[in-house]
Protein backbone atom coordinates (compact mmCIF):
# COMPACT_ATOMS: atom_id res chain seq x y z
CA UNK A 1 0.00 0.00 0.00
CA UNK A 2 1.45 3.35 -1.09
CA UNK A 3 1.58 6.40 1.13
CA UNK A 4 -1.98 7.67 1.23
CA UNK A 5 -3.98 10.69 2.34
CA UNK A 6 -7.75 10.32 2.33
CA UNK A 7 -10.16 13.10 3.27
CA UNK A 8 -13.84 12.78 4.10
CA UNK A 9 -16.47 15.44 3.47
CA UNK A 10 -20.16 15.85 4.20
CA UNK A 11 -22.74 17.83 6.11
CA UNK A 12 -23.25 17.66 9.87
CA UNK A 13 -23.85 14.06 11.02
CA UNK A 14 -23.29 12.59 7.55
CA UNK A 15 -21.02 10.00 9.14
CA UNK A 16 -17.58 11.44 8.35
CA UNK A 17 -15.97 10.62 11.70
CA UNK A 18 -17.46 7.12 11.77
CA UNK A 19 -16.23 6.39 8.26
CA UNK A 20 -12.82 7.82 9.07
CA UNK A 21 -12.44 5.40 11.98
CA UNK A 22 -13.70 2.47 9.88
CA UNK A 23 -11.16 3.27 7.17
CA UNK A 24 -8.35 3.73 9.67
CA UNK A 25 -9.09 0.30 11.18
CA UNK A 26 -9.39 -1.29 7.75
CA UNK A 27 -6.22 0.17 6.26
CA UNK A 28 -4.06 0.41 9.37
CA UNK A 29 -3.81 4.17 9.05
CA UNK A 30 -3.98 7.09 11.47
CA UNK A 31 -7.28 8.99 11.77
CA UNK A 32 -7.34 12.76 12.24
CA UNK A 33 -10.53 14.07 13.83
CA UNK A 34 -11.64 17.68 13.99
CA UNK A 35 -11.89 18.84 17.63
CA UNK A 36 -15.41 19.98 18.52
CA UNK A 37 -15.33 20.66 22.24
CA UNK A 38 -12.58 23.25 22.73
CA UNK A 39 -13.55 26.09 20.42
CA UNK A 40 -13.32 29.42 22.30
CA UNK A 41 -14.87 31.38 19.42
CA UNK A 42 -18.20 29.54 19.16
CA UNK A 43 -19.76 31.29 22.21
CA UNK A 44 -18.83 34.63 20.69
CA UNK A 45 -20.33 33.58 17.35
CA UNK A 46 -23.63 32.59 18.96
CA UNK A 47 -23.68 35.91 20.81
CA UNK A 48 -23.12 37.66 17.48
CA UNK A 49 -26.17 35.91 16.04
CA UNK A 50 -28.20 37.22 18.97
CA UNK A 51 -26.97 40.75 18.28
CA UNK A 52 -28.21 40.49 14.69
CA UNK A 53 -31.58 39.09 15.81
CA UNK A 54 -31.93 41.93 18.34
CA UNK A 55 -31.13 44.52 15.67
CA UNK A 56 -27.95 45.63 17.43
CA UNK A 57 -25.69 44.63 14.53
CA UNK A 58 -26.15 44.33 10.76
CA UNK A 59 -23.79 41.35 10.44
CA UNK A 60 -22.39 38.91 12.97
CA UNK A 61 -19.10 40.54 14.08
CA UNK A 62 -17.62 37.12 14.94
CA UNK A 63 -18.36 35.20 11.71
CA UNK A 64 -15.05 36.08 10.09
CA UNK A 65 -13.17 35.32 13.31
CA UNK A 66 -14.84 31.91 13.58
CA UNK A 67 -14.13 30.96 9.98
CA UNK A 68 -10.48 32.01 10.21
CA UNK A 69 -10.21 30.01 13.43
CA UNK A 70 -11.54 26.90 11.66
CA UNK A 71 -9.37 27.55 8.61
CA UNK A 72 -6.24 27.81 10.74
CA UNK A 73 -6.99 24.57 12.58
CA UNK A 74 -7.77 22.67 9.40
CA UNK A 75 -4.62 23.95 7.72
CA UNK A 76 -2.54 22.78 10.68
CA UNK A 77 -4.32 19.40 10.70
CA UNK A 78 -3.92 18.62 7.00
CA UNK A 79 -0.34 19.87 7.03
CA UNK A 80 0.48 17.46 9.84
CA UNK A 81 -1.35 14.61 8.12
CA UNK A 82 0.48 15.26 4.86
CA UNK A 83 3.85 15.22 6.60
CA UNK A 84 3.23 11.71 7.91
CA UNK A 85 2.42 8.50 6.05
CA UNK A 86 -1.00 6.95 5.55
CA UNK A 87 -3.58 9.19 7.20
CA UNK A 88 -7.30 9.91 6.97
CA UNK A 89 -9.05 13.19 7.90
CA UNK A 90 -12.71 13.40 8.86
CA UNK A 91 -12.93 16.98 7.54
CA UNK A 92 -10.45 19.03 5.58
CA UNK A 93 -9.58 22.52 4.48
CA UNK A 94 -11.08 21.81 1.05
CA UNK A 95 -14.69 22.13 2.23
CA UNK A 96 -14.04 25.00 4.63
CA UNK A 97 -15.12 27.72 2.22
CA UNK A 98 -18.66 26.29 2.06
CA UNK A 99 -19.47 27.78 5.46
CA UNK A 100 -17.90 31.19 4.83
CA UNK A 101 -19.67 31.50 1.46
CA UNK A 102 -23.00 30.57 3.02
CA UNK A 103 -22.53 33.05 5.86
CA UNK A 104 -21.66 35.77 3.37
CA UNK A 105 -24.64 35.04 1.13
CA UNK A 106 -26.93 35.09 4.18
CA UNK A 107 -25.59 38.46 5.31
CA UNK A 108 -23.69 37.22 8.36
CA UNK A 109 -20.35 38.32 6.86
CA UNK A 110 -19.42 41.17 4.53
CA UNK A 111 -18.22 40.87 0.95
CA UNK A 112 -14.88 42.32 2.03
CA UNK A 113 -14.51 39.61 4.67
CA UNK A 114 -15.34 36.95 2.07
CA UNK A 115 -12.70 38.28 -0.31
CA UNK A 116 -10.05 38.39 2.42
CA UNK A 117 -10.99 34.86 3.46
CA UNK A 118 -10.70 33.59 -0.13
CA UNK A 119 -7.28 35.18 -0.50
CA UNK A 120 -6.08 33.62 2.76
CA UNK A 121 -7.40 30.18 1.77
CA UNK A 122 -5.74 30.40 -1.65
CA UNK A 123 -2.40 31.30 -0.07
CA UNK A 124 -2.68 28.39 2.38
CA UNK A 125 -3.43 25.89 -0.37
CA UNK A 126 -0.48 27.16 -2.39
CA UNK A 127 1.77 26.60 0.64
CA UNK A 128 0.78 22.95 1.16
CA UNK A 129 3.25 21.47 -1.36
CA UNK A 130 6.09 23.27 0.44
CA UNK A 131 4.89 22.55 3.97
CA UNK A 132 4.13 18.87 3.38
CA UNK A 133 4.97 15.90 1.17
CA UNK A 134 1.78 16.13 -0.87
CA UNK A 135 0.07 18.78 -2.94
CA UNK A 136 -3.46 17.47 -2.29
CA UNK A 137 -5.35 14.44 -0.98
CA UNK A 138 -5.20 11.24 -2.99
CA UNK A 139 -8.94 10.81 -2.68
CA UNK A 140 -11.82 12.91 -1.35
CA UNK A 141 -14.72 10.81 -0.05
CA UNK A 142 -17.99 12.73 0.00
CA UNK A 143 -20.75 11.18 2.14
CA UNK A 144 -23.93 12.46 0.51
CA UNK A 145 -27.09 12.50 2.65
CA UNK A 146 -30.50 14.10 2.31
CA UNK A 147 -32.27 16.18 4.95
CA UNK A 148 -34.22 13.23 6.36
CA UNK A 149 -31.08 11.16 6.93
CA UNK A 150 -29.21 14.16 8.30
CA UNK A 151 -31.92 14.96 10.85
CA UNK A 152 -32.16 11.33 11.97
CA UNK A 153 -28.42 11.18 12.58
CA UNK A 154 -28.37 14.55 14.32
CA UNK A 155 -31.08 13.23 16.62
CA UNK A 156 -29.17 10.02 17.26
CA UNK A 157 -25.92 11.87 18.00
CA UNK A 158 -27.76 13.90 20.61
CA UNK A 159 -25.79 17.14 20.80
CA UNK A 160 -28.29 19.65 22.27
CA UNK A 161 -27.09 22.62 20.22
CA UNK A 162 -27.70 20.68 16.97
CA UNK A 163 -31.33 19.71 17.70
CA UNK A 164 -34.09 21.35 15.67
CA UNK A 165 -36.53 21.11 18.58
CA UNK A 166 -34.17 23.31 20.62
CA UNK A 167 -33.67 25.80 17.78
CA UNK A 168 -36.27 25.65 14.96
CA UNK A 169 -34.12 27.96 12.78
CA UNK A 170 -31.69 25.06 12.36
CA UNK A 171 -34.07 23.35 9.94
CA UNK A 172 -33.60 26.11 7.38
CA UNK A 173 -29.86 26.14 8.11
CA UNK A 174 -29.57 22.40 7.49
CA UNK A 175 -31.56 22.60 4.23
CA UNK A 176 -29.34 25.41 2.98
CA UNK A 177 -26.15 23.62 4.03
CA UNK A 178 -27.13 20.55 1.98
CA UNK A 179 -27.67 22.81 -1.05
CA UNK A 180 -24.24 24.40 -0.65
CA UNK A 181 -22.57 21.01 -0.32
CA UNK A 182 -24.30 19.89 -3.53
CA UNK A 183 -22.76 22.86 -5.32
CA UNK A 184 -19.36 22.17 -3.77
CA UNK A 185 -19.55 18.56 -4.98
CA UNK A 186 -19.98 19.79 -8.57
CA UNK A 187 -16.99 22.13 -8.46
CA UNK A 188 -14.44 20.26 -6.29
CA UNK A 189 -11.30 19.53 -8.33
CA UNK A 190 -8.36 19.28 -5.92
CA UNK A 191 -8.25 15.49 -6.21
CA UNK A 192 -10.26 12.46 -7.28
CA UNK A 193 -13.73 12.53 -5.70
CA UNK A 194 -15.78 9.52 -4.65
CA UNK A 195 -19.41 10.03 -3.60
CA UNK A 196 -20.90 7.56 -1.12
CA UNK A 197 -24.69 7.39 -0.87
CA UNK A 198 -25.15 7.94 2.86
CA UNK A 199 -28.92 7.47 2.55
CA UNK A 200 -28.53 3.98 1.10
CA UNK A 201 -25.61 2.66 3.15
CA UNK A 202 -25.66 2.39 6.94
CA UNK A 203 -21.93 1.75 7.21
CA UNK A 204 -22.01 2.40 10.95
CA UNK A 205 -24.57 -0.23 11.88
CA UNK A 206 -24.77 -2.73 9.02
CA UNK A 207 -21.84 -5.02 8.19
CA UNK A 208 -22.97 -5.66 4.60
CA UNK A 209 -23.35 -1.93 3.95
CA UNK A 210 -19.96 -1.30 5.53
CA UNK A 211 -18.33 -3.87 3.25
CA UNK A 212 -20.03 -2.37 0.20
CA UNK A 213 -18.75 1.11 1.08
CA UNK A 214 -15.24 -0.18 1.75
CA UNK A 215 -15.30 -1.97 -1.62
CA UNK A 216 -16.17 1.32 -3.33
CA UNK A 217 -13.45 3.26 -1.52
CA UNK A 218 -10.74 0.66 -2.01
CA UNK A 219 -11.63 0.31 -5.68
CA UNK A 220 -11.23 4.07 -6.04
CA UNK A 221 -7.89 3.85 -4.22
CA UNK A 222 -6.76 1.30 -6.80
CA UNK A 223 -7.80 3.73 -9.54
CA UNK A 224 -5.70 6.58 -8.08
CA UNK A 225 -2.72 4.29 -7.44
CA UNK A 226 -2.61 4.22 -3.64
CA UNK A 227 -3.73 0.59 -3.33
CA UNK A 228 -2.59 -2.34 -5.42
CA UNK A 229 -5.19 -4.70 -6.91
CA UNK A 230 -3.61 -7.55 -4.95
CA UNK A 231 -3.90 -5.68 -1.65
CA UNK A 232 -7.50 -4.78 -2.49
CA UNK A 233 -8.36 -8.46 -2.94
CA UNK A 234 -6.52 -9.34 0.27
CA UNK A 235 -8.51 -6.77 2.26
CA UNK A 236 -11.79 -7.95 0.71
CA UNK A 237 -11.09 -11.58 1.49
CA UNK A 238 -10.23 -10.75 5.08
CA UNK A 239 -13.42 -8.74 5.55
CA UNK A 240 -15.83 -11.14 3.90
CA UNK A 241 -14.41 -14.18 5.69
CA UNK A 242 -14.80 -12.76 9.20
236 annotated among ligand-binding-site residues = no
52 annotated among ligand-binding-site residues = no
46 annotated among ligand-binding-site residues = yes
Residue 213: Cβ within 10 Å count: 25
Distance from C-alpha of 55 to C-alpha of 49, rounded to nearest angstrom: 10
134 annotated among ligand-binding-site residues = no
Helix ranges, the chain (H): 16-27, 42-53, 63-83, 97-105, 111-131, 147-157, 169-187, 207-224, 229-240
14 annotated among ligand-binding-site residues = yes
Distance from C-alpha of 143 to C-alpha of 10, rounded to nearest angstrom: 5
173: Cβ contacts below 8 Å, ≥ 6 apart: none
212 annotated among ligand-binding-site residues = no
15 annotated among ligand-binding-site residues = yes
One of 37, 38, 90, 202 is an active-site residue; which one? 90
48 annotated among ligand-binding-site residues = no
Is 138 a known active-site residue? no
Binding site feature residues for ATP: 10-18, 153-157
Binding site feature residues for substrate: 34, 46, 67, 91, 96, 162
Please identify every residue annotated as catalytic. Answer: 90
Amino acid sequence: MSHILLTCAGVISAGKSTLTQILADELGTKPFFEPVDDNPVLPLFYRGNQLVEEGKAQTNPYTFLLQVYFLNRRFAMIKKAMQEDNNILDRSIYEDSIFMKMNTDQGHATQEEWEIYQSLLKNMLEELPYAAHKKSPDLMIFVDVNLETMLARVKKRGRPFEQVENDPSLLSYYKTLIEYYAQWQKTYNASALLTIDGNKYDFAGNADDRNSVLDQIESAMVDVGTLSPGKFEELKEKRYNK
